[in-house]
Amino acid sequence: MLKSLKLSLQTKILVLVLSLAFLIIILLTASFTYLEAKEIEKQKAQLALKISKTISFMPEVSSAIQTDDPAEIVQPIAERIRKEIGAEFIVVGSKEGIRYSHPIPERIGEKMVGKDNYRALVEGKYYTSRAVGSLGPSLRGKSPIFNNNGQIIGIVSVGFLIKDIKEQIFQNVLRVSFKSLIVLLIAAGGSVLLAKNIRKDTMGLEPYQIATLYTEKDAILQSIREGLLSYDETGRVMMMNQTARKLLNIKGGFRHLNIENLMPDSHPYQIFETGEAQMDQELLLEDKTIIVNRAPIFHQNQVKGVVASFRDKTEIEDMLNTISEVQRYSEDLRAQTHEFTNKLYVLSSLLQLGEYDEAFEMIQDETTNVEVKNRILFNQIEDSRIQAILLGKIGKASEKKITFEVDANSSLQKLPSHINLTHLIVMIGNLVDNAFEAVADRDKNPTVTFFATDIGHDIIFEIQDNGNGIPIEDHAFLFHRGFTNKSSHEPRGYGLANVKETVNQLGGMVEFHSEPGRGTVFTVYLPKEHS
């Protein structure tokens, strides 16, 4: 019973495939024959017209017609072009229709045949026509020849014989018919093989087993930690796993989504043109940086779809940024230690040389300076993390011979817990370092001032320098990742971008004011309560 049912299914498949293949081949062959005939005639007509136009615009042809013996110049040019393009004839004639060129030289000087020159010689138009000439029925392209004064002085006629065009169409039809017959035979053989080997094609699996494999594949797909999706040549998303939904913030169905909306500015259709995989491309999506790999899906040597896998780089990037900022923080502390070590060496040398007055004066100056800074730093700024960062910057500024001041009006209590040390290092560290770089080239009194307050609902940090300011044309790109106006062999242009991203994460804002030659002020506003 089951066996007979299976054979019945195979028979239906055999009959259906053969019938469809035969019907489709007949329809396609007939359609191709009709369209091919029209296309060949159209191409020949356009070619004839383009060549005739080209020759009519040639200065040597226009000049030759106005000489005493035009045929001597025109005939070699026309014959050379005719042989290159495979035209049956290229005839250049006078305004009276007298031939100056012809594939049969003996007919040069005779009247042109066909009675289809009126529109070119009288109306000055470019056109194609069918006419019977001295060589037989032909498809022609006609173009008038003008002199420098815009007067019609001749005509160019380029033609292909109708019998040659029909022969080409017939040969194409024969080739198509032969190929169609081969396709039909292949379809018949394939149908027989399909009918006889349907179980073999399914590797001996029953339908329910195939369904089980599909379910398992879907489970494996969803368990992959990388995001996976596929899309077709129209950009429509065909498949997406759970990780992809999470990374792309997709809720509900995805069949209506388009890859251009999910991954803007990522050139998603380029792979359909090149057919080559795209590996390790970085793409910024809102607050995430993802690495995308794309591989083409081929069908009949054409790219029919793309499988894209991607993973979140933001966490790795944040970790690297944190390590970089902590390393910079460590270097600032090293600079502070180095500066005080140098002062201790100087003080030791003065004592050894017996210069007690100078040593005492040095101690008093250093003590006074430290007391002033420490009074502001430790009495008015109560957050130990800010204190540590500023102490490192004070040492770095001293090493670079830069005056780094903490505004006496600063007042800051312990910061909220959602603002951690990494956030502070990224924001304050980058802004102060940028200010140091801005004043590094000043010969007189390079100064950077830090101000902080938490009066009101916001925490405010302000870093001011007396450098040369930021060029107006750079204002719009200042917080763009990778933008810099400094020349260096090391990667640059990430500090202010990191500041912007960190401030955004904390729900705040950053702004700046800069005047050429008068310095720059960066101000960061952070809400005390962050949702």
Q: Domain for residue 385, yes or no? A: yes
Same domain, 346 and 454: yes
- What is the structure's pLDDT at 207? 61
Same domain, 303 and 341: no
Q: Domain for residue 8, yes or no? A: no
Q: What distance in Å separates the CA atoms of residue 398 and residue 380, rounded to the nearest whole number?
A: 22
CATH code, domain carrying 432: 3.30.565.10
Same domain, 301 and 334: no
Question: Which backbone phi and psi does 66 adopt, to 5 degrees?
Answer: -90, 5
Per the CB < 8 A criterion, the answer to whether 119 and 100 are in contact is no
Give the end of a domain, one of 167, 188, 221. 167
Give the end of a domain, one of 167, 193, 223. 167
Q: What distance in Å separates the CA atoms of residue 469 and residue 152, rounded to the nearest whole number?
A: 68
Q: Domain for residue 324, yes or no? A: yes
Structural domain that includes position 278: 207-307
Q: Domain for residue 416, yes or no? A: yes
Q: Which residues of the chain have pLDDT under 50?
A: 1-9, 488-491
Q: Domain for residue 182, yes or no? A: no
CATH code, domain carrying 137: 3.30.450.20
Same domain, 142 and 283: no
Same domain, 342 and 482: yes
Same domain, 487 and 435: yes
Reported pTM? 0.39
Same domain, 153 and 21: yes
Same domain, 270 and 416: no
Give the end of a domain, one of 113, 138, 167. 167
Same domain, 117 and 257: no
Burial of 194 (0-12, 13-18, 19+ CB in 10 A): middle
- What is the structure's pLDDT at 464? 93
Q: Domain for residue 185, yes or no? A: no
Hey, what are 66's tokens?
Answer: 């106005």
Q: Domain for residue 51, yes or no? A: yes
Same domain, 429 and 486: yes
Comparing CA positions, the residue from 365, 448, 367 lying closest to residue 403 is 448
- What is the structure's pLDDT at 461? 95
Q: Domain for residue 359, yes or no? A: yes
Per the CB < 8 A criterion, the answer to whether 298 and 304 are in contact is yes
Same domain, 420 and 474: yes
Strand pairing category for 278-285 and 458-465: unpaired
Same domain, 293 and 331: no
Q: What's the number of domains the chain is made of?
A: 3
- What is the structure's pLDDT at 319? 63
